[in-house]
A and B are shown apart, each in its own frame.
Chain A
Amino acid sequence: MSFNMLVLTCLAYVILLFVVASAAERAASEGRAGWLRSPVIYTLSLSVYCTAWTFYGAVGFAARSGLEFMTIYLGPTLVFVGWWVLLRKLVRIGRENRVTSIADMISARYGKSNLLGVIVTLLCIAAGAPYIALQLQSIAQSFTVFVSDPEGASLAGNPTLIAFWVAIGLAFFTIVFGTRTLDANEQHPGVVTAIAVEAVVKLAALLAVGVFVVWFVAAGPSDILTRIDAQALPEWEIQPGRWTGLILLSAIAIICLPRMFQVTVVENTDDQHLATASWAFPLYLFLISLFVLPIAVIGMELMPAGSNPDMFVLTLPLYLGQDGLALLSFLGGFSAATSMVIVASLALATMVSNHIVVPLWLKVRAARNLDSGDMRLLVLSVRRLSISLVLGLGYLYYVITGGSGALAAIGLIAFVGVAQMLPALLGALFWRGASRTGAALGLVIGMGLWFYTLFLPSFGPGVFLSAQVMEGGLFGQSWLRPYSLFGLTTLDPLLHALFWSLLLNVLVFCLGSFLSFPSPMERVQGALFVNIYDRTGPARSWTRPVAEAEDLLPIAQRILGVSEGQNFFRAQAAVQGKQGFLPDITAEFLEALELKLSGSVGAATAHAMLAQSVGTAVVSVEDLMAVASETAQIMEYSAQLEAKSEELSRTARKLRDANEMLQKLSVQKDAFLSQISHELRTPMTSIRAFSEIMMDSDAMSPEERTHFAQIIHDESIRLTRLLDDLLDLSVLEHGQVQLNIGPVQLRELLDKAIRSSESVQASRKFRILRSRDPEGIEIVTDAGRLTQVFINILSNARKYCIADDPQMQIKVRERKGMVEVDFIDNGAGIPRDKQALIFEKFSRLTDSMQAGGAGLGLAICREIMHNLGGDIAYVPGQGGAAFRVSFPRVLTPRDASRKAARSQAEAAE
Chain B
Amino acid sequence: MSRPPRPQFLARDSYRIRRLMDAARFLPVFGFVLILLPLMRHSPEAETPPTASEGVYLFLVWFGLVFVAFLMSLGLRRALDAPKEHVTPSED
Contacts and interface: CB of A to CB of B under 8 A. Distances in A.
Q: Do chains A and B touch in the complex (CB under 8 A)?
A: yes
Interface of A: 66-67, 70, 74, 77-85, 225-226, 228-229, 232-234, 236-238, 240, 243-244, 247, 271-272, 275-276, 278-279, 282-283, 286, 289-290, 293, 533-534, 536
A627 to B, nearest CB: 24
A226 B52 contact: yes
A372 to B, nearest CB: 40
Q: Majority SS of interface residues in chain A?
A: helix
B19 to A, nearest CB: 13
Contact of B76 (A233, A236, A240, A275): A275
Given A81-B65, A286-B62, A67 B32 contact: no
A236 B49 contact: yes
Contacts of A293: 51, 55
17 contacts: A70-B58, A78-B32, A78-B65, A81-B66, A82-B25, A85-B24, A85-B28, A226-B52, A234-B47, A238-B42, A243-B38, A247-B32, A272-B77, A278-B76, A282-B69, A286-B62, A289-B59
B48 A232 contact: yes
Given A81-B31, A236-B51, A237-B49, A290 B24 contact: no
Which 9 pairs, one residue from A and one from B, show the smallest C-beta to C-beta distance?
A82-B28, A84-B24, A279-B69, A279-B70, A232-B48, A225-B52, A228-B52, A78-B28, A275-B73
Nearest to B39: A240
A243 B54 CA distance: 13
Contacts of A272: 77, 80
Contacts, number: 123
Contacts of B49: 66, 232, 234, 236-238
B84 interface: yes
A534 B88 contact: yes
Contacts of B65: 77-78, 81, 282
Nearest to A239: B39
Given A70-B55, A82-B28, A272-B77, 10 more contacts: A78-B32, A80-B69, A81-B27, A85-B24, A228-B55, A233-B48, A238-B54, A244-B36, A289-B62, A533-B88
Interface in B7-50: 21, 24-25, 27-29, 31-32, 35-36, 38-39, 42, 47-50
Nearest to A238: B38
B89 interface: yes
B80 A286 contact: no
A282 B48 contact: no
A533 B35 CA distance: 32
Contacts of A271: 80
Contacts of B58: 67, 70, 74
B55 A81 contact: no
A824 B11 CA distance: 107
A67 B51 contact: yes
Given A82-B24, A84-B21, A238 B66 contact: no
A416 B91 CA distance: 36
Nearest to A293: B55
B39 A81 contact: no
Nearest to B89: A533
Contacts of A229: 48, 50-52
Contacts of A238: 38-39, 42, 49, 54
A286 B55 CA distance: 12
Contact of B66 (A228, A233, A279): A279
Nearest to A283: B66
Nearest to B28: A82
A74 B51 contact: no
B60 to A, nearest CB: 11
A388 to B, nearest CB: 39
Contact of A282 (B54, B66, B72): B66
A566 B68 CA distance: 57
B76 A533 contact: no
A226 B53 CA distance: 10
A278 B73 contact: yes
